[in-house]
Chains A and B, each alone.
Chain A
Amino acid sequence: MNFNFLSPFYLLGALGVGVPILIHLMTRRQKKHQRFSAIYLLSQSKNRAIKQSKPNRKFLLFIRCLCIALLSLAMANPIFLPGDSTNFETNDPSAIVFILDDSYSMATQINQKSYYTHAVKALLDTNKSLPAKSVYSVVLGSSPNRVLQHWTVRPEKAKNILELNQPSFRTTEIGRAIKKSLPLLEEVPQKNKLIYILTDRDKNGWNEEEFLSISETTSHTFNIVDFSEMKHGINKTAVEHIEVQQEFLSTSRVIRVKVKIANLSQLKPVNKLKVSLWINGKEQTEGTLDIPTNSSTEKEFSFPLQNNNPINGEVRIEDDSLLKDNLRFFSYQPDQTIKTLVVDGDPNTVEHQSETFYLERALNPFTSSLSNIELTLSTPAELSKRNLFDYSVIILCNVHNLPFGYEQELEKFVLRGGALFVTLGNQVDAKFYNEKLGNILPVFLKSVYQIAKTDEPFRFLIKPSKHPVLKVFKERTLEEMKSIEFQSIYSVEARENSKFTTPIVFNNKLPALIESTTGKGKVILFVSSIDRDWNNFPIQPTFLPWIQRWIKYAARGLDSLIQKELLVGEPFNWENPPKNGKAYIVAPEGKFIAPPYVGGNITFKKTYTPGVYQLYRSSRTPNLESETSVPAHLPYGAEPAGSFTVNIDPTESHSTKISNEEINNLLPKANIIFSNGYQKLNLNKTNAGIPLSTYFVMLVGAMLLLEGWLVRNE
């Protein structure tokens, strides 16, 4: 149990107790000595007078002093803190592992200091009060955990290293930290073994799976010191996600940056939050955003592209108590060609009879520089050799079926933002499509409608549309499209709970083109063939712009494939690095790193700082071998080879806290003591203690009433 005062300055008011005492002394009548004859009568009278309970001046003085003292106590905002802040019931030497949460949420500011700073102070303070011959060590609580300070007796030893260390950009991993601490505790002979966890109790740091192996065996004493209870440090908002798109459909080159911002407050909506977009260190544009309570809202910035230089940008929002989640980085290489993999399901030695003959020419009529689409032709058999993540768009043209298990690769590809364009034809195995591509295609393929030669063919039902792909087609073009004849089409049936649109339908109301979104990617199904087998569309003049626009439209999410976006701590795999082994990475803080090759590839693990990491290649032989080596500058002639961004994991920003019960469930056998950081530091804190001001004020009122009553009686 403990008492704290939020405004201890007011305790000085207790000195006011001196005022009534002074008045009492000043007005006190001098005691006179009087020789008197009838003392026994005085005694008798006094005894009788006492029975009438006359007020005692000293009692009145006491009440008045008490009133002033209680008033000053009430103004000092006393907080009663149940529970004991210390754990050292005995003076036996103890072995303590401090698990210090250094995740980025611990950088939340309170009283101009971060939770982390308070936690370090609490740790050092606790060290000072350790029983003699106690040892302690410090394990960092963010992922990956590491031992910051191995066992030591000297309380001051960890001070410098702790004060130099800052909260990382990583997330919390309390479970792993405990796993690391348990073997440490086995190393020391002290019988009294304790684990102190200094954390903000973010729920994401308490992964149940990590506790499975230790929950039944761990019976140590845990002292969980919560620093998030400090009310002033509310993290209001966080930038959760950024998506960058280039608008290929429009003639002007426009970059769209879609940013998702979360309001983390459970109580207050955010109004007119200032959001700004910074490109290459300069503020490009800004806007305001209203976000309802405990939800996320997206905002889209768009700006014209001036040149083809890579874009390194960031989105910033107004400062709150946690600065680290108020900005998010992105990088983008504009005007890239849309790498498209065309899978020909019906190849033919006669070129023009191949399924993809017309498609190939429509997408890439002369060179890729004109259409921005770079084609790669493939057969289904060759698919297993292809890395889907090298492409933005995959077009399956009348493919019978896919290699075994390849549908899963395709699904991953789409989920991560790839575009899948499926055209049908006589080779298509509807059963395979229906069974294996259920997660991608929103519809079942039912049957083929074939029109007799004498009958009227299917035609597009043309009407003006606002669809981004179709809105550019004007009347004349639309009239031309009406003349396209379809002899055969697949009829489809919607899958259960699937969401899709049909931008184009036939004149018999059957869908001609089905568009759906899966994950970050798009899936477009054209129910007829892309060659002339089932229709005459490929030879129509509208085919070229039509198919190009659909491919460009579908490829909008390609940035997620081209631009690697990683979270802090995730390794960066540089696939297809420069073969001659001269690759460099420039970290956001300007550090040059020559990453080592492992099996011809580069895996860069030290993505600990959020920001844009630039990749360079050089024709010169690197003179540095290790990953940790830092060259003074980039070698002459080093060329940019792309970039990737590293951002913090937004889950750490969310203020969901793990409850005492949940922790008890995770460690059922352990003796767990919960306490608050302010208890150790005497920080201002109200929400865990019981404020006593009201009670004191009520007591003052009662005292004043009693005093008034006594004086009135007098």
Chain B
Amino acid sequence: MNENKTIKLDPEILSRIASLNVCATKLVEGLLSGHHRSKHTGSSVEFADYKDYTPGDEIKHIDWKMVAKTDKHQIKQFGQSTNLKATILLDTSGSMGYESSNPKTMNKIDYARTLVASLSYLFLKQYDAVGLSLFNESLISHVPPRSKPNHFKHILHELAVLSPNGITKLGDIIESMIERLPRRGILILVSDFLTKESGVEKKLKLLVARGLEVILFHILDSDEVSLPFNGDIIFESLEDDSSIQLDPADIRETYQRAIQDQIKYYRSHCVKLGIDYIFLETSTPLEQGLTYYLLQRKNLGKHRAL
């Protein structure tokens, strides 16, 4: 969709892109150094099996050496040689725009941006196609998966220009996206999952059923987990909720229980659906979270994808 979109040369955006580029590159190079094996060479020319020739088959695929040896017309079959297509779905609803009260902590949207850029770079580095879709209550923009190294710029641009707003409607988005997603690819969903809608797990089930490998990055700010505020505070919503006045001390425990319940909810459902679920607090260094996840995947034998 935005494939041919001209990148605006806004200096601010450019600097943001450069920064993201540096961050992602640094992260990924650090992660892959010493153990990365390019999957591009031979992955699509690997021999898979022989098959009897039947009329209609391409003659060029007949293994003439086999004919010479066995006098049988056998056709050589090769494994799938197409590149992996990864689609990253990034939640850009208003709630993602939460700015942490701790100045040392990265803001949630920046954290997500960096994560997405890192993952994209990682995919592209492996010559896999990677696409990016931004959404809130609807799809905002979509960058289709490409494996060209230059594609990284497009993704970075999208990341740079996004501004969080609107409400989260995860279920609707998955429903609308599901048809256009490539089968048997990877879908990476990056969101804070702060949504009032129910039945998100059913939508995730649809994705899994389509053969997609789904990875969920649940990103929350530390404030959203612990509610560290004190005093009489009027909380104004970043989405469409009405403001609420209260003393957080009064409800802190209840809130913390509620947010932990939500995390547990997603984790338990993801485990059931075979979805990788990674919970990241913005106070956790991104490389630490990413490393932990990649190591976990490697141990599970899933390193094929990443």
Q: Please give the residue numbers on chain A whose beta carbons come within 8 Å of chain B beta carbons, in ascending order.
A: 28-46, 48-49, 54
19 further A-B contacts with Cβ under 8 Å, apart from A37-B108, A42-B244, A43-B244, are A28-B232, A29-B231, A29-B247, A30-B231, A31-B232, A34-B235, A35-B235, A35-B236, A35-B238, A36-B236, A37-B98, A38-B259, A39-B237, A39-B242, A39-B244, A41-B194, A42-B255, A46-B250, A54-B250
Instruction: Please give me the residue from chain A that is nearest to B225 by CB atom.
Output: A38
A39 to B246, CA, bound (A): 11
A46 proximity list for chain B (CB < 8 A): 244, 246, 250-251
A31-B245, A46-B244, A48-B254 are known contacts. Are A38 and B234 too (CB-CB below 8 A)? no
Dominant secondary structure at the B interface = mixed
Instruction: Please give me the residue from chain A that is nearest to B256 by CB atom.
Output: A45
Question: Contact between B235 and A42 (Cβ–Cβ < 8 Å)?
Answer: yes
Q: Please give the residue numbers on chain B whose beta carbons come within 8 Å of chain A beta carbons, in ascending order.
A: 94-96, 98-99, 108, 192, 194, 196, 221, 223-224, 227, 229-239, 241-247, 250-251, 254-255, 258-259, 262
A33-B234, A35-B236, A46-B244 are known contacts. Are A40 and B250 too (CB-CB below 8 A)? no
Question: Contact between A44 and B224 (Cβ–Cβ < 8 Å)?
Answer: no
Instruction: Please give me the residue from chain B that is nearest to A54 by CB atom.
Output: B250
Question: Contact between A32 and B244 (Cβ–Cβ < 8 Å)?
Answer: no
A49 proximity list for chain B (CB < 8 A): 250-251, 254
A40 to B238, CA, bound (A): 11
| Least CB distance, B92 to chain A, in whole angstroms | 13
Which of B192, B244, B254 makes the CB contact (< 8 A) with A37? B192
Question: Contact between B95 and A37 (Cβ–Cβ < 8 Å)?
Answer: yes
B232 proximity list for chain A (CB < 8 A): 28-32
A29 to B251, CA, bound (A): 17
A45-B254, A46-B244 are known contacts. Are A40 and B231 too (CB-CB below 8 A)? no
| Least CB distance, B220 to chain A, in whole angstroms | 9
Dominant secondary structure at the A interface = mixed
A32 to B258, CA, bound (A): 23
Instruction: Please give me the residue from chain A that is nearest to B94 by CB atom.
Output: A37
Instruction: Please give me the residue from chain B that is nearest to A38 by CB atom.
Output: B194
Question: Contact between A45 and B251 (Cβ–Cβ < 8 Å)?
Answer: yes
B239 proximity list for chain A (CB < 8 A): 37, 39
Question: Contact between A41 and B229 (Cβ–Cβ < 8 Å)?
Answer: no
Which of A28, A39, A54 makes the CB contact (< 8 A) with B235? A39
B259 proximity list for chain A (CB < 8 A): 38, 41
What are 8 A-B interface contacts by the 8 Å CB criterion?
A: A29-B247, A34-B233, A37-B98, A37-B238, A38-B194, A39-B244, A42-B244, A49-B251
Per CB-CB distance, the 10 closest pairs between chain A and chain B, nearest first, are A37-B95, A39-B241, A45-B254, A29-B231, A45-B251, A39-B237, A45-B255, A37-B98, A36-B235, A49-B251
A40 to B221, CA, bound (A): 16
B245 proximity list for chain A (CB < 8 A): 31
| Least CB distance, B236 to chain A, in whole angstroms | 5
Question: Contact between B98 and A35 (Cβ–Cβ < 8 Å)?
Answer: yes
| Least CB distance, B237 to chain A, in whole angstroms | 4
A34 to B262, CA, bound (A): 22
| Least CB distance, A269 to chain B, in whole angstroms | 68
A118 to B245, CA, bound (A): 60
B227 proximity list for chain A (CB < 8 A): 42
Which of B96, B238, B251 makes the CB contact (< 8 A) with A36? B238
Instruction: Please give me the residue from chain B that is nearest to A32 by CB atom.
Output: B233
A38-B224, A39-B244, A45-B251 are known contacts. Are A31 and B233 too (CB-CB below 8 A)? yes
A46 to B233, CA, bound (A): 13
Instruction: Please give me the residue from chain A that is nearest to B236 by CB atom.
Output: A35
A38 proximity list for chain B (CB < 8 A): 95, 194, 224, 255, 259
Instruction: Please give me the residue from chain A that is nearest to B196 by CB atom.
Output: A40
A128 to B222, CA, bound (A): 76
Question: Contact between A41 and B250 (Cβ–Cβ < 8 Å)?
Answer: no
A34-B229, A37-B98 are known contacts. Are A42 and B246 too (CB-CB below 8 A)? yes
A64 to B243, CA, bound (A): 31
B243 proximity list for chain A (CB < 8 A): 39
A42 to B255, CA, bound (A): 6
Interface centre among A30, A32, A41, A48 (most CB of B within 10 A): A41
B234 proximity list for chain A (CB < 8 A): 31-34
Instruction: Please give me the residue from chain B that is nearest to A51 by CB atom.
Output: B254
A42 to B251, CA, bound (A): 8
A30 proximity list for chain B (CB < 8 A): 231-232
A29 proximity list for chain B (CB < 8 A): 230-232, 247
Instruction: Please give me the residue from chain B that is nearest to A35 by CB atom.
Output: B236
B223 proximity list for chain A (CB < 8 A): 36
Instruction: Please give me the residue from chain A that is nearest to B237 by CB atom.
Output: A39
B250 proximity list for chain A (CB < 8 A): 46, 49, 54
A30 to B232, CA, bound (A): 7
| Least CB distance, B219 to chain A, in whole angstroms | 11
Question: Contact between B255 and A36 (Cβ–Cβ < 8 Å)?
Answer: no
Question: Contact between B233 and A33 (Cβ–Cβ < 8 Å)?
Answer: yes
